[in-house]
Amino acid sequence: MSARGKLLLASSNRGKLAELTELSRQDPSGAKFQFAAVPDFDSIPQFDESAPTFAENAAGKALHYSRYCGEPVIADDSGLVVPALGGAPGVRSARYAGEGATDAQRIEKLLSEMRGKTGADREAHFVCVLAIADAGRCLAVVSDRTDGIVAESPRGKGGFGYDPVFYFTELGKTFAELSREEKNRYSHRGKAFRRLLKAAHEFFGAA
């Protein structure tokens, strides 16, 4: 492994770090990198994720935290987009039910907004944008999505966030019902991360 074989995730979300670590283990190229959270993440001035797009938030966050670290930084912005709700929760997915709300509270608000909607009005997609930056320079921004529908009620105990109400029609399960291998294969984050690994190898060439 090269000296630049370590990548830091700009997030305090343990679920995201666990997913990326698992994805890296499953991908032959990803195994050449070490992944960890940005050290002392909560003590670093917080980045204001107030941009109107996932890409701007991801790139801005990666740039911001890379200035405090000696290693390349990965940042993501991801969320659930429901066209029938005007794109909500969208970039405000984590703050949809207010600052400090739990996953259960965010899901409760979403289901209340979806009440009475049927057919195409329940269509939704997860979006993930990942950016990588090094020393205040953005190196790459990649994205992907997964399509499904908003379930009538939560199902499953896996995953996090809106996973229990995101019904993935291709497998007939919510994301919270998928096995780890299934989610890594089909999820928006899994697909975007595999794209990011290709970019990381172009820049850092870990071996």
Instruction: Supply the DSSP string of 42-106, one letter for each residue.
Output: GGSPPP----SSHHHHHHHHHHHHHTT-SS-EEEEEEEEE-GGGTT-BGGGGGGTT-TT--HHHH
- The structural domains of the chain, with segments of one domain joined by +, span 6-204
Q: Which of 27, 40, 77, 134 does the annotation list as catalytic?
A: 77
| pLDDT beneath 50, residues of the chain | 1-4, 206-207
User: Strand pairing partners for 174?
Assistant: 167
Strands (E), 90-205: 123-134, 137-150, 166-168, 173-174
Q: What is the pLDDT of residue 31?
A: 57
Residues 65 and 67: their CA atoms lie apart, in Å, by: 5
Identity of the residue numbered 162: Y
pLDDT computed for residue 27 by the predictor: 67
Q: What CATH number belongs to 6-204?
A: 3.90.950.10
| Residue 159: per-residue pLDDT | 86
Instruction: Give 21's DSSP letter.
Output: H
Q: Is 42 a known active-site residue?
A: no
Residues 150-168: tens digit of each pLDDT: 999 999 999 889 999 999 9
Distance CA 162, CA 102 (A): 11
| pLDDT of the residue at 187 | 94
Strand partners, 43: none
pTM listed for this prediction: 0.88
Would you state the pLDDT for residue 201? 80
